């Protein structure tokens, strides 16, 4: 039988909450009962009552989930304090065992509001019927009773300090189980404090969320095929995983001094021994000779805003040479040959990434990556069209930037069947409907620098249709 717990979330990245909870629950082998009511499941609110089989499960979630601020044993909720007290009395069997001799204190706070000190005292005195006989201990109490008032968002309005005090939408009450311990990792992995980073480094909070989606844990092997400056490597390695990284441009991984920048930053976090290796190669010309190696693939592929994706090849094919082949002569400056590269269009890259994951992942392994999309053009089929046999969508969470956004896509390998390595042929579509459907992320770079002008997008679509 499950017990109800009140979860209080940080009011950021709200679409990522439920996927993160489900991922950590799957990692540790337990289930979560979510609210039946759509209203109670809305992620726009910071409060949610969830069912768990044990208090230990609540502690596991608080230790690992980045978006959790507090977890409390749930006692009551109400639109008014009268309604809350009525429900709290009905749940006396949950808190009565603490009344006799348990030291305690109250924590009274609010979301979108600051409760004045005098009213906090009135709120506490309103619970006098609970008749707690234990010592009031403000420093080290055995239990903390929590009361949260939820107010409408009033940001951007001018008002007196205490204006609207007491006009809350709902009030929640419970016993504090745990403060969200993983929130401190956001500061630990702050990019500004890192010894090595670049202009494409992923922010700490998002890197941690991505690591949780991979189910990173001790002994797992995780691969980043576009590792860049290593943002996802540090967070996944922090949770115990071993990391292998590659990039077509080795300068991103190395930096300008020795040892390589990623290794220096990993040493800063005490996880340098979990970076297995860093290699320079084009993922479309990779050295892998067998599949089923990795527990997860996590990456933030370049999509052309700060840096564009590249693959080996020439933009324009050379004309056919007539006559005998030229005689090789060593270069006088003894410089190494640098092969030419050409752009790697985002929709092609995304489809290839899914095929690569199917080949390289172990059964039930996960592919986690960001996909930028144009807000007005995005449709669910954009993501569905990337899937192939043996791969299923687990989560699709939006980080909204207005006219565009990026979606954290989590895909699971559902089969133990061995598949051939991908051909990385631009003419090869993963599914039959890719050719007929133009996804919102196709030619994203051009759309971004055009300012997502609708007319330009429609013209580009018409041109693509004519070419098809």
**pLDDT tens digit string along 298-356?**
999 987 666 667 777 777 766 777 777 777 667 666 677 778 887 788 888 999 999 99
Model confidence at 440, in pLDDT bands (50, 70, 90)? Answer: confident
**pLDDT tens digit string along 91-101?**
999 999 999 99
The whole-angstrom separation of Cα 214 and Cα 411 is: 10
The whole-angstrom separation of Cα 85 and Cα 77 is: 8
**pLDDT tens digit string along 210-267?**
999 999 999 999 999 999 999 999 999 999 999 999 999 888 898 888 899 999 999 9
Model confidence at 436, in pLDDT bands (50, 70, 90)? Answer: low
Pick 307 or 172 by higher pLDDT: 172
Phi (first) and psi of residue 336, to 5 degrees: -70, 155
Model confidence at 90, in pLDDT bands (50, 70, 90)? Answer: very high
Model confidence at 158, in pLDDT bands (50, 70, 90)? Answer: low
Q: Do 271 and 196 form a contact (C-beta atoms < 8 A)?
A: no
The whole-angstrom separation of Cα 119 and Cα 125 is: 10
- When mean pLDDT is compared across 65-74, 178-187, 333-342, 384-393, the lowest value belongs to 333-342
Helix (H) or strand (E) holding 24: helix 17-28
CB-neighbour burial class of residue 223 (10 A; exposed 0-12, middle 13-18, buried 19+): buried
- Helices 17-28, 204-213: axis angle to 10 degrees equals 40
The whole-angstrom separation of Cα 272 and Cα 264 is: 8
The whole-angstrom separation of Cα 459 and Cα 468 is: 14
Pick 353 or 2 by higher pLDDT: 353
Model confidence at 468, in pLDDT bands (50, 70, 90)? Answer: very low
Q: Do 17 and 69 form a contact (C-beta atoms < 8 A)?
A: no
Does the structure show a pLDDT above 50 at 467?
no
- Enter the tokens of residue 44: 């726009």
pLDDT at residue 460, as a whole number: 44
The whole-angstrom separation of Cα 72 and Cα 254 is: 45
**Cα→Cα distances 228→38, 112, 151, 177, 206, Å:** 40, 38, 42, 39, 16
Does the structure show a pLDDT above 90 at 406?
yes
pLDDT at residue 257, as a whole number: 86
Q: What average pLDDT score do residues 365-373 get?
A: 96
Q: What's the number of CA atoms in the CB half-sphere (13 Å) around residue 137?
A: 13
Strand segments (E) across 275-422: 275-280, 294-299, 310-312, 341-343, 361-374, 391-400, 404-413
Q: Which residues are CB-neighbours of 365 under 8 A, at least 6 positions away?
A: 294, 295, 296, 297, 357, 412, 413
The whole-angstrom separation of Cα 320 and Cα 324 is: 12
The whole-angstrom separation of Cα 212 and Cα 64 is: 8
**pLDDT tens digit string along 43-82?**
889 999 999 999 999 999 999 999 999 999 999 999 999 9
**H helix runs in 214-371, sequence order:** 231-238, 250-254, 261-268, 346-360
pLDDT at residue 433, as a whole number: 44
The whole-angstrom separation of Cα 226 and Cα 357 is: 13
**pLDDT tens digit string along 270-290?**
999 999 999 999 999 999 989
Q: Do 294 and 368 form a contact (C-beta atoms < 8 A)?
A: no
- When mean pLDDT is compared across 283-287, 325-329, 443-447, 461-465, the lowest value belongs to 461-465
């Amino acid at each position: 039988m499950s017990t109800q717990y009140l979860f209080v979330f940080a009011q950021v990245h709200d679409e990522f909450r439920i996927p993160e909870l489900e991922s950590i629950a799957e990692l540790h082998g337990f289930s979560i009962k979510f609210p039946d009511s759509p209203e109670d499941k809305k992620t726009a609110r910071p409060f949610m009552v969830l069912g768990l089989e044990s208090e230990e499960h609540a502690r596991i979630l608080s230790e690992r989930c980045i978006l959790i601020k507090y977890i409390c044993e749930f006692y009551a909720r109400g639109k008014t304090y009268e309604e809350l007290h009525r429900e709290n009395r009905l749940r006396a069997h949950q808190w009565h065992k603490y009344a006799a001799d348990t030291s305690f204190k109250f924590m009274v706070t609010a979301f979108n509001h600051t409760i004045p000190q005098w009213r906090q005292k009135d709120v506490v005195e309103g619970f006098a019927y609970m008749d707690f006989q234990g010592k009031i201990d403000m420093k080290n109490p055995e239990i903390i009773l929590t009361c949260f008032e939820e107010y409408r968002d009033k940001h951007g309005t001018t008002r007196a300090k205490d204006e609207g005090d007491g006009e809350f939408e709902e009030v929640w009450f419970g016993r504090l189980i745990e403060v969200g311990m993983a929130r401190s990792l956001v500061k630990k992995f702050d990019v500004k404090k890192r010894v090595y980073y670049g202009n494409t480094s992923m922010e700490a909070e998002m890197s941690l969320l991505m690591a949780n989606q991979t189910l990173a844990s001790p002994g797992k092997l995780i691969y980043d095929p576009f590792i860049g400056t290593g943002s996802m490597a540090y967070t996944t390695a922090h949770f115990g995983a071993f990391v292998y990284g590659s990039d077509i441009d080795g300068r991103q991984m190395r930096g300008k001094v020795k040892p390589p920048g990623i290794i220096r930053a990993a040493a800063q976090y005490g996880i340098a021994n979990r970076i297995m290796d860093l290699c320079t190669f084009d993922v479309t010309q990779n050295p892998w000779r067998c599949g089923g190696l990795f527990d997860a693939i996590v990456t933030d592929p370049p999509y052309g805003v700060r840096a564009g994706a590249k693959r080996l090849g020439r933009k324009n094919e050379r004309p056919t040479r007539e006559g005998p082949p030229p005689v090789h002569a060593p270069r006088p400056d003894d410089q190494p040959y640098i092969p030419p590269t050409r752009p790697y269009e985002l929709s092609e890259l995304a489809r290839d990434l899914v095929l690569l994951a199917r080949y390289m992942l172990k059964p039930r392994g996960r592919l986690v990556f960001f996909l930028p999309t144009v807000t007005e053009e995005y449709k669910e089929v954009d993501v569905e069209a990337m899937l192939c046999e043996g791969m299923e969508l687990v989560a699709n969470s939006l980080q909204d930037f207005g006219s565009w956004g990026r979606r954290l896509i989590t895909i699971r390998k559902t089969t133990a069947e061995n598949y051939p390595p991908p051909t990385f042929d631009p003419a090869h579509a993963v599914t039959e409907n890719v050719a007929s459907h133009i996804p919102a992320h196709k030619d994203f770079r051009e759309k971004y620098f055009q300012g997502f002008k609708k007319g330009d997008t429609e013209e580009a679509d018409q041109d693509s249709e004519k070419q098809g």
